[in-house]
Structure 1
Amino acid sequence: MNPLENYSHLPQNSIELERAVLGVMLTQPTGLREALELLRGGADTFYHPPHRPLFTAIQRLNATGKTVDYYTVGQYLAQVGKMQAAGGSRYIQGLLAKAPYGTGIADYCQYMNLLWGKRRVGVLMHQLTKDAADPTTDLSDLLASAYATINQIQEGLQVRGTYTLSGLLDQVAEEIVAATLKPGGITGIPSGLGSIDDVTGGWQPSDLIIVAARPGVGKTSFALANAVPAALAGYPGAIFNLEMSNTQMVRKTIATELGEYSTNQLAKGYFPSGGVEEARTIRDRVTRLEQAEIYLEDTPGLSIGEFRAKAARLKAEHDIRWIVVDYLQLMTGEKKGSREQEIGSISRGLKLTAKELNVPVIALSQLSRAVESRGGEKKPMLSDLRESGSIEQDADVVVFLYRPEYYKIKEDEMGESVADTTEVIFAKHRNGPLAEVIVGSTMKNGRYFDLEPAAPVAEPAPAEHFGPRILPLKLPSLSTLRTATASHFSDDGAPVS
């Protein structure tokens, strides 16, 4: 049953626009190509029943390389038994006779997309009302479904342009010049560790960065060592905490900032020398963190649909420049198939989010136990990524954290002490070199630091450099659209003969 059937009002639609668009598609090859590209909802973009099979016929003829006109569409509809469903030959002739000419097809299609989006929101609200009244409905499932649908609607309204190589040469040349002016060559989001930025140039917009390690090696601390300096340098961001609460994350951040207490010590209030008085000084000693624009989300069991919707909202409201997910395996994805397929849907969703919002997404990930069963140094490999090869496939950068002390290794092959060090291993780097970087790390307070002086941190780039690469919708007023098509239709919307 159509959920719209019980509505007491007519859903948003325009028969004039739909007829105008179909008329253009049947008479103008350029308009045909433009409409097929812009109407991302396909046949569902059309509200009036006869227009859906007609659009489908046009779409399928074009996809097979056949001519699209009155005769071929008529033959196709007759062959599949849909001529009457499409209004009949006389109705189609009316579309041809009164098809508007000019360059308005893009505006018509974009307005139709908005009407389609409103109808979808109406269907969603109707379904939410129905499901909310069902006592067996799980609230988290209900919200996840709503987030996913809203995200799909939003995607349908994003009209992305096609660019030419020549058209982008000036822009890229300017970016190359700008890169030479950046301190330390940092063109992306600074990591807070100069040795890492030497390899990456900063975490780059639209990249999915996987930071993987065994439990207890220091993934969350590494993420904070990246996040806090970036935020203090003027790059706001978001951390999705799936393993710990927001308050636990803030406590861990305080421990890292002060560098003299462990997170456990702060949680227990253990200050043997200063007691309560020492504890009361902590708030005043971390005032610098007030300047760190970091947004925290600790929704448990976060679905990939919820994540994408929340990330889009944070981008729109706060212009976040980076995202951290802690950690990937605690998210929920599509429940169809195996756990590996579910993880695959999560990694694809993370990559899509990075690309759509044009921000680096740093996702922490667990490594499998296969690392422990190997002999020697037990350095991780790409095959150790837990539960799915899709993680490796979707990632632009895969970083392994390897701490020799974790495996009771005291010295390297040269006999040098490896105490308080972590190897940051770039096992995959789509747009840069593979490398192994050694940084200092003290796990008691979760601090990471360069073993050599770091390069200066780059100033934030303009917001538009990191904004979503989406063409704005140029919409004429409804009165303008009606004026443009009014001469082709009678008052009841029928074609004028």
Structure 2
Amino acid sequence: MVFPHLSPNVEKLGERRREAKLAPVIPLPILPAMAEESDRRPPSEHASRMRRPAEGVMTLREPPHSIELERAVLSVLLQGEHAAAMHVVREKLPHPLGFFQRDHRIIYQICLDLDDEARRVDASSVAERLQNTTFGVLVERLRQQQALQEADQLDGMGRERLRSLYRYRDEDAAKQYEESSLAAIGGFDSLVAIMEAYASAAGLGSNADLIKDLYLKRQLIRRLGGLVDNAYRSPDPFRTLVEVASADVLALSRRADGSQIYSIDTVVDETLEAIGERQSNPNVGVQTGFSGLDERLMSLRPGGLYVLAARPGVGKTSFALSLVDNVLAANGDDHVLFFSLEVDRVDLVKKLLTGAARIDFAKIESGLLSPEETDALTAAADQMRQKKLDLMDVSDLTVQGLRSVIKRHQLEVGKLALVVIDYLQLLSSSRPSQTEYEKVSEITRTLKVLAKELRIPVIALSQLNRESERGGQPRPPRVSDLRGSGSVEQDADAVIFLHQESGQDDDQTRAQGRSLKIIVAKNRFGPMGESDVRFFPARQRFVEVPTGEDGTSAADQPPAHQRSSVRYDTAPEDSENLFM
């Protein structure tokens, strides 16, 4: 086949390629003589023509996005099987414009509104809200958010202001199905198609991060496009344009790494919102079950890191288990996750059953139980099975591995009331060459960030250094006695010590219980101080000693004379606040 409009050389090249059975060469179009034409045009028209190709190139490029990633994130949300999924996503994507596709923005906007109303987010609830909302209303609200974004005001808004942009109102109701947003996006089948898209709940956070990264890239392109246009049109000098460009890019980089600077009016609104939520939910924190400790800590705050430390043998693991049991009793619907890097999970449950069945630990350990004690142990075990306590005993766990396990477990079980780690010095660091101080610093910082990210309190048990044991009578521990004390003191919201004033363990001590002090040595959000408890190691029980009107505890008063056999039989009483 001959192409008459091609040059002979091109025809010969095509014949040679056909002989070699290769694809023919597609001829390139001949470019016009732009230099000659430009000489005949006025300068203003020439400048306009030089700009148009650049604008054409920009319009041919599609902004960075990934429909598959957006569908993967929305799929997990619409499945409604993971209670923390919405929290994970909205922490990274606080408004619908983080998504690129219009229908995805509409669906996510509904998810945000339902979550603000504390309603379950799943395909059914989203479809119901879409069916009851006029499509034009949602589109108009997206346009309002787009206008705020172009004015660089959207990303700096607090949660309450963002909510006002997409909150459902009675006047938004659709009169007919054809006017509804559900009909506009393709009906319920479109939600089912998204929900059935392959998506892993374990990768929800990373997928949301990728969507946020694509959103920031779109913002970068928009800002740089404006800078290019401004460079064409503005009479400002080069230095001024560079300063404006640097400020715009710096603002985007702050949003990317989470180091955004907030104005005081925004922070005041967020603070008043937090105070209002606390007023409506005064018991939002986690109670430890020890009144003296709860009064000082004002409960365990969501996102708080608490360090519990004591000398070896004082009973910090038993105290942590007692605290966990109290939390489970008060928060029956929430799970508690206990990491034991030193004690086997079977031995942990033995301690729990000892307190619940009120049987001496030595009898359970040896198996020498009477028929009555066996029945009590069986009943305690049946009650223990009903509690939402999850245990993990592992001797070699890195702090990053711990972080992954906690985040994955929260997605699986829903809300976590508390995480306990026994103990933090046994965690491995990401780099074996780190010093002890560097290792502890990495661990405590990671735990603090994790607690803040997941909005759950974390209790980390800790060792004390050898300096605290020197001398004769044990002195009260200090924050500086913590191993890696600098980083622990800096990252912890509270440091709690268990201190046994006397090292004796005779018959009288076993009968009356060890006298321990709970010392709050650091408290970021409340007062410091101490309270008294008695610890009965044989039955793994802690009894809080009441405080008198003069502020002194009953433990500081001289005990009344009583035979040791009577004391042993009557202590502790069932009515006391014990570890059960």
TM range (shorter): 0.5 to 0.7
Q: Which amino acid aligns with 1:188?
A: G
CA distance in structure 2 between the aligned counterparts of 1:334 and 1:56, rounded to whole angstroms? 37
* 3-state DSSP of counterpart to 2:416: coil
How much does 1:242 deviate?
A: 1.0
How much does 1:359 deviate?
A: 0.9
2:421 corresponds to: 325
1:312 corresponds to: 407
CA distance in structure 1 between the aligned counterparts of 2:351 and 2:273, rounded to whole angstroms? 45
Instruction: State yes or no: 1:16 paired with 2:62.
Output: yes
How much does 1:58 deviate?
A: 7.2
How much does 1:201 deviate?
A: 2.5
Q: Which amino acid aligns with 1:327?
A: Y
Q: Where do residues 329-478 of structure 1 align in structure 2 (5 Å cutoff)?
A: 329-335=425-431, 337-374=434-471, 376-406=473-503, 419-452=513-546
Q: Is the 8 A contact 2:474 2:502 kept in 1?
A: no
Q: Is the 8 A contact 1:206 1:357 kept in 2?
A: yes
* Percent identical residues: 27
Q: Where do residues 148-163 of structure 1 align in structure 2 (5 Å cutoff)?
A: none
Provide the TM-score with structure 1 as the length reference.
0.57
How much does 1:251 deviate?
A: 1.2
1:494 corresponds to: none
Q: Which amino acid aligns with 1:165?
A: V
Q: Is the 8 A contact 1:232 1:293 kept in 2?
A: no
Q: Is the 8 A contact 1:269 1:279 kept in 2?
A: no
2:387 corresponds to: 292
Q: Is the 8 A contact 1:195 1:439 kept in 2?
A: no
Residues 359, 36 of structure 1: CA spacing in aligned structure 2 closer, same or farther, 3 A cutoff? Answer: closer
1:268 corresponds to: 366
Q: Is the 8 A contact 1:404 1:410 kept in 2?
A: no
1:257 corresponds to: 356
Residues 290, 425 of structure 1: CA spacing in aligned structure 2 closer, same or farther, 3 A cutoff? Answer: same
CA distance in structure 2 between the aligned counterparts of 1:195 and 1:41, rounded to whole angstroms? 42
Q: Which amino acid aligns with 1:268?
A: S
CA distance in structure 2 between the aligned counterparts of 1:362 and 1:377, rounded to whole angstroms? 25
* 3-state DSSP of counterpart to 1:449: strand
Q: Is the 8 A contact 2:400 2:430 kept in 1?
A: no
* 3-state DSSP of counterpart to 1:198: helix
CA distance in structure 1 between the aligned counterparts of 2:447 and 2:478, rounded to whole angstroms? 22
How much does 1:331 deviate?
A: 0.7
Residues 202, 338 of structure 1: CA spacing in aligned structure 2 closer, same or farther, 3 A cutoff? Answer: same
Q: Which amino acid aligns with 1:252?
A: K
User: Which string of whole-angstrom CA distances, capped at 9 and with x for unpartnered residues, describes residues 197-236 of structure 1?
Assistant: 2222221111100001111111111111110121122242
How much does 1:342 deviate?
A: 1.3
Residues 355, 282 of structure 1: CA spacing in aligned structure 2 closer, same or farther, 3 A cutoff? Answer: same
Instruction: State yes or no: 1:236 paired with 2:335.
Output: yes
2:131 corresponds to: none
Q: Which amino acid aligns with 2:536?
A: T
Q: Is the 8 A contact 2:357 2:376 kept in 1?
A: no
Q: Which amino acid aligns with 1:267?
A: E
How much does 1:382 deviate?
A: 0.6
Q: Which amino acid aligns with 1:293?
A: K
Structure 2 regions of 5+ residues with no counterpart?
Answer: 1-59, 66-96, 99-146, 158-206, 233-237, 239-251, 547-574
Match of 1:302 among 391, 397, 403: 397
Larger radius of gyration: 2
Cα RMSD over matched residues?
4.7
Structure 1 regions of 5+ residues with no counterpart?
Answer: 1-13, 22-27, 62-66, 74-78, 80-108, 110-154, 180-185, 412-416, 456-497
Residues 72, 34 of structure 1: CA spacing in aligned structure 2 closer, same or farther, 3 A cutoff? Answer: farther
2:83 corresponds to: none
Q: Is the 8 A contact 1:422 1:441 kept in 2?
A: yes
How much does 1:387 deviate?
A: 2.8
User: Which string of whole-angstrom CA distances, capped at 9 and with x for unpartnered residues, describes residues 352-387 of structure 1?
Assistant: 111111111011000011111145541100110013
Residues 288, 171 of structure 1: CA spacing in aligned structure 2 closer, same or farther, 3 A cutoff? Answer: same
Q: Which amino acid aligns with 2:368?
A: Y
User: Which string of whole-angstrom CA distances, capped at 9 and with x for unpartnered residues, describes residues 142-173 of structure 1?
Assistant: xxxxxxxxxxxxx999x9x9954235525513
Residues 282, 340 of structure 1: CA spacing in aligned structure 2 closer, same or farther, 3 A cutoff? Answer: same
* 3-state DSSP of counterpart to 1:190: coil
Q: Which amino acid aligns with 1:316?
A: L
How many residues of Structure 1 are paired with residues of Structure 2 in the alignment? 337
Q: Bigger relative contact order, structure 1 or 2, given CA contacts below 8 A and separation 6+? A: 1
Residues 156, 371 of structure 1: CA spacing in aligned structure 2 closer, same or farther, 3 A cutoff? Answer: same
2:279 corresponds to: 176
CA distance in structure 2 between the aligned counterparts of 1:345 and 1:407, rounded to whole angstroms? 37
How much does 1:288 deviate?
A: 2.7
CA distance in structure 1 between the aligned counterparts of 2:380 and 2:420, rounded to whole angstroms? 26
How much does 1:410 deviate?
A: 12
Q: Is the 8 A contact 2:341 2:426 kept in 1?
A: yes
Q: Which amino acid aligns with 1:288?
A: Q
Q: Which amino acid aligns with 1:338?
A: T
CA distance in structure 1 between the aligned counterparts of 2:61 and 2:309, rounded to whole angstroms? 54
User: Which string of whole-angstrom CA distances, capped at 9 and with x for unpartnered residues, describes residues 80-104 of structure 1?
Assistant: xxxxxxxxxxxxxxxxxxxxxxxxx
Q: Which amino acid aligns with 1:238?
A: L
User: Which string of whole-angstrom CA distances, capped at 9 and with x for unpartnered residues, describes residues 440-485 of structure 1?
Assistant: 2112232112223889xxxxxxxxxxxxxxxxxxxxxxxxxxxxxx
Name the structure with the higher helix share.
2
CA distance in structure 1 between the aligned counterparts of 2:410 and 2:513, rounded to whole angstroms? 40
CA distance in structure 2 between the aligned counterparts of 1:360 and 1:206, rounded to whole angstroms? 5
Provide the TM-score with structure 2 as the length reference.
0.50
CA distance in structure 1 between the aligned counterparts of 2:211 and 2:378, rounded to whole angstroms? 59
2:87 corresponds to: none
Q: For structure 1, which segment, 281-290 or 396-405, has the greater mean C-alpha deviation from structure 2 after superposition?
A: 281-290
CA distance in structure 2 between the aligned counterparts of 1:353 and 1:215, rounded to whole angstroms? 28
CA distance in structure 1 between the aligned counterparts of 2:418 and 2:354, rounded to whole angstroms? 23
CA distance in structure 2 between the aligned counterparts of 1:29 and 1:195, rounded to whole angstroms? 49
CA distance in structure 2 between the aligned counterparts of 1:306 and 1:253, rounded to whole angstroms? 27
User: Which string of whole-angstrom CA distances, capped at 9 and with x for unpartnered residues, describes residues 316-339 of structure 1?
Assistant: 222111111111011112315322
* 3-state DSSP of counterpart to 1:333: coil
Residues 443, 172 of structure 1: CA spacing in aligned structure 2 closer, same or farther, 3 A cutoff? Answer: same
How much does 1:30 deviate?
A: 4.7
Residues 427, 307 of structure 1: CA spacing in aligned structure 2 closer, same or farther, 3 A cutoff? Answer: same
CA distance in structure 1 between the aligned counterparts of 2:211 and 2:273, rounded to whole angstroms? 39
* 3-state DSSP of counterpart to 1:17: coil
Q: Is the 8 A contact 2:288 2:299 kept in 1?
A: yes
Instruction: State yes or no: 1:248 paired with 2:347.
Output: yes
